[in-house]
Amino acid sequence: MGTALRKSPAPQPELYRFSALDYTTVGLYAAVAVLFAVAGSLLQPLLLRLSPDPTIAVYSVNLLFYGGVGILAVAAARRVASRDLSVLATRPWFTLLMVPLAVVAMLILTAILVTLTGPVQNSANQANVQALVQHVPPWLIVPLLVIVGPFVEEYIFRHLLIGKLSRRVNIWVCCVVSAVLFAVLHIVGQESLTLPVLMPYLVMGATLVFVYVWTGKNLMFSYFVHAAKNLLAVVFIYAIPPELLEQMQHVQP
């Protein structure tokens, strides 16, 4: 793939070597993800001790998890993030135009492919997010779903799985692994891995992979696209009454 930011600074190979902090961050992320995928139902009584409201309990656990991993991710990727922000700052209009265009392209492609793969199926992950947004105020939701969560996922699925791993493995293999793992980890442990359920996450993962590589492995650009997509989803859920949203989800294409 070509790069849209051709006047990037000179390559800095040391920024793409795996560090001990990278392994620690990924190990924590993977361990917690596997724990909830394998023993999520067994952990439910423990979660309810945090709050009698299951939704608030889930929010608290996610905040602690993503907050902890987020601190490690920022520490591990701070030099790359700083460099990539500097690159984007030289082309502010490119960033302002291409971020929303990438989100729109993602939504259009998702609508087309979801329609082609069968009846619309609302995933358990999406249902959980909707329940979270409907029960938690925006000032608590936005930091988790729009700021911290997308950075953690872009750091792991794009910066590590493509930016760093491609030094050892073919970049096309890394891109496929990144998109597929991104989709699977949003579903696994919650429901069966069917194509209609996976498709929205596969399209989102593929789009983020594309913009990351297209911009010369710019972590912050893919992060901005991811954050913008999540922000749009949050605004959409807050803006539409729950009853109408439920009716819309049951409308067949």
88-144 pLDDT, tens digit each: 999 999 999 999 999 999 999 988 887 887 665 666 677 777 777 778 888 889 999
- Higher-confidence residue of 215 and 47: namely 215
Residue 44: predicted pLDDT: 62
Residue 58: predicted pLDDT: 77
Residue 194: predicted pLDDT: 76
Residue 40: predicted pLDDT: 58
pLDDT tops 90 at residue 174: yes
Residue 252: predicted pLDDT: 43
Residue 62: predicted pLDDT: 85
Residue 134: predicted pLDDT: 78
Q: Among 18-27, 119-128, 147-156, 157-166, which is the least confidently predicted range?
A: 119-128
98 conformational bin, left if phi > 0, alpha if psi -120 to 50, beta if neither: alpha
Confidence of residue 253 (pLDDT cuts 50, 70, 90): very low
Most confident of 2-6, 121-125, 195-199, 227-231: 227-231
Residue 124: predicted pLDDT: 67
In the chain, where are the structural domains located? Answer: 13-249
2-43 pLDDT, tens digit each: 566 655 444 577 789 999 999 999 999 998 887 776 665 555
57-93 pLDDT, tens digit each: 778 888 889 999 999 999 999 999 999 999 999 999 9
Confidence of residue 248 (pLDDT cuts 50, 70, 90): very low
Tell me the one-letter amino acid at 222: S
Q: Among 64-68, 196-200, 222-226, which is the least confidently predicted range?
A: 196-200
Residue 35: predicted pLDDT: 78
